[in-house]
Structure 1
């Protein structure tokens, strides 16, 4: 009973229960026995072995079975941190063996620690993406950082980062060159579960930039896919799909994982819809969409429900905001004399979605 209580408290400390439930369901439905490869550096294993083992054990308690990958020339000095724990099973991949199977243990009671006698890049090239498409690099240094020391929540392979992070970014670039769809993240042994189970994460996701297309009418837009994205993101049905025809700007991810729709209001852009699909949340699509919006000139304003969980992000993006009972209204690049007018318009504008929720799985609130 004590451990069950401790386990529950630990999960609660990671993030919101709805986020954890959403990601847990997503991972369990992936259809793969192997959840991920966990690739710790030598410092993580030698200086924080208990924390690393605890996070891995909790993953197994949740029904997710990763494999730990240790490679030479440092693996031989790290193995002993796992040898005396019956939760883990050590398997050696000898250098003369060309292939290795990552299928999960049949008893589902032990976690595999793969001791590869090859180097890291060679080993990963033989396993990714053929046997695994989710890799979490774990290191004491944590997230990748810019030259000014700022942590990057999302990073493309060509980003300008500090010298110390050049090697890990080059490794990610190599892996993405073989398959741009793999999931790569960099975090600490203390934040592994938070990185995995929360939208914001606790490290850096490395992936290729999204292709954001700009449309000024519905010509060329897949209406059906756009409506599906909006309804999935908001968890409610559009009252009238014809509202799409009055949009003057639509920034849409080429894979329809996210979209920003803007209307005209007396020469100002009103951000009507900001939608990110469930599967794309936490991957940086929202920031890429926002950057695309800012690349277009003109004043901008929008509203969001007071209970929206991403209000702090909006507050950082906006030049100013005003809280009302039900809505918060934000603005950017707007003349101060027009602020009362835009607050009045945004706060009284009718909603475009029904009041009834769709049976959407793992809904994370994102209303505007």
Structure 2
């Protein structure tokens, strides 16, 4: 299957080619051994291994090689029901895993062994025995050695869901203990996931690190869409508030804005000043605010594409609401975020060039606000599908 056909198949499954390409580019920018660590419990292997291996095959065909951790009992099951690719089985045989893999020996240096396996176009698999080492210890040790910021726990029970709506609890932010959703019945695998999350996140400082619980039937959707398909758990995003450029890497900030909107800023914007800046500590999102006679103008609301699935934008928005009222802003008509803006704004006015929004504003100020918004310069170059705020 050609690369284009593989991508088409992935996007057919995820129904999200635009974000899919964004995530693929992000994954391919990583060192191959750092892509992701994937653990599948024994029940998942026994009951739905073919669904999981189907998605792993597509990742393999995209030259993405997750580091897979399996229980020894699971692998014994696979040896009985699936031929071993490393012994020369045909990957196209329906009874094979569909991709080449290699068992990583515990006594060998892990990073070098994984890199060698990937260079040979084989997915590295580590066999785990609970009597030798606890799962938490295995995953944390491998994460540290491979410099991976993503751990995927695949379970037939799937992610946490709201007991009333049935919708997946997509993001949970943890401080000291796991924020178990109220009213949720916890399965054994979900209980293990909670314990893993608390143990790993309590000692990992990397703000990009996350551990996600997902189903074997939706692995690609979890990886290649902003919305995802699982419950992603991460440390609470740290948002800093600045009222001057002291302590702000302005070059890095401008790069974030340009990358988020897919456009180059005009030279004049580099000379402009913010009155308030909300900035995520890793420069993955920001809100550039200017104070006016009518309240606060949200000049730029920028969220790194990959960070959109980690709740960073929502945390920035919460800070805006807490500190900056009244609030108003504008957005291009083709901006995909307009649907959300319309759901949270107090009011909206439109013309052919812009949509104008306001929140917490006295009615008498609206004409002046719209006039001010219309007078604002266009800060980017030629527009493209990812519009400017």
Which range, TM-score by smaller chain? 0.7 to 0.9
Q: Report the equivalent of 1:32.
A: 32
Larger mean CA deviation between 231-240 and 3-12 belongs to 3-12
Q: How many residues align?
A: 359
Give the secondary structure class of the aligned counterpart of 2:96. Answer: coil
CA distance in 2, matches of 1:117, 1:104: 23
1:102 has 2:114 as partner: yes
Q: Secondary structure at the match of 1:354?
A: coil
Q: Structure 1 residue aligned with 2:267, among 239, 263, 281? A: 239
1:184 counterpart SS class: strand
Deviation at 1:271, TM superposition (A): 0.8
TM-score (normalizing by structure 2)? 0.78
Question: Once the 2 structures are TM-superposed, how far is the Cα of residue 194 of structure 1 from its aligned partner?
Answer: 1.7
CA deviations 1:60-82 (Å, max 9, x no partner) are 11111123322267665566565
Q: C-alpha separation between the residues in 2 aligned to 1:105 and 1:228? A: 36
Tell me which residue corresponds to 1:365. Answer: 386
Instruction: Pick one of 381, 384, 388 that aligns with 1:354.
Output: 381
State the secondary structure of the residue aligned to 1:355. coil
| CA–CA separation in structure 1 for the residues paired with 2:13 and 2:353 | 29
2:163 aligned with 1:142, yes or no? no
Helix, strand or coil: the match of 2:299? strand
Residue in 2 aligned with 1:60?
Answer: 60
Deviations 1:47-106 (A, max 9, x none): 332221111000011111123322267665566565541525473867xx5975434536
- Verify: 1:288 aligned to 2:315, yes or no: yes
SS of the equivalent of 1:269 reads strand
1:181-219 Cα deviation digits (max 9, x unpaired): 334222222221122122232223322122211122334
> In the alignment, is residue 122 of structure 1 matched against residue 137 of structure 2?
yes
Conserved? CA contact 1:23–1:197, under 8 Å: yes
2:243 touches 2:275 (CA, 8 Å); kept in 1?
yes
CA RMSD of aligned residues (A): 3.4
Matching of residues 124-273 of structure 1 within 5 Å: 124-133=139-148, 134-145=150-161, 151-158=168-175, 159-162=178-181, 164=186, 165=190, 167-181=192-206, 182-234=209-261, 235-241=263-269, 244-245=272-273, 247-273=274-300
Cα separation, 1, equivalents of 2:363 and 2:43: 53
Q: Which residue of 1 aligns with 2:96?
A: 85
Gap runs ≥5 in structure 1 = 358-363
Partner SS state of residue 56, structure 1:
helix
CA contact (8 A) 2:35 2:65 kept: yes
Higher helix content, 1 or 2: 2
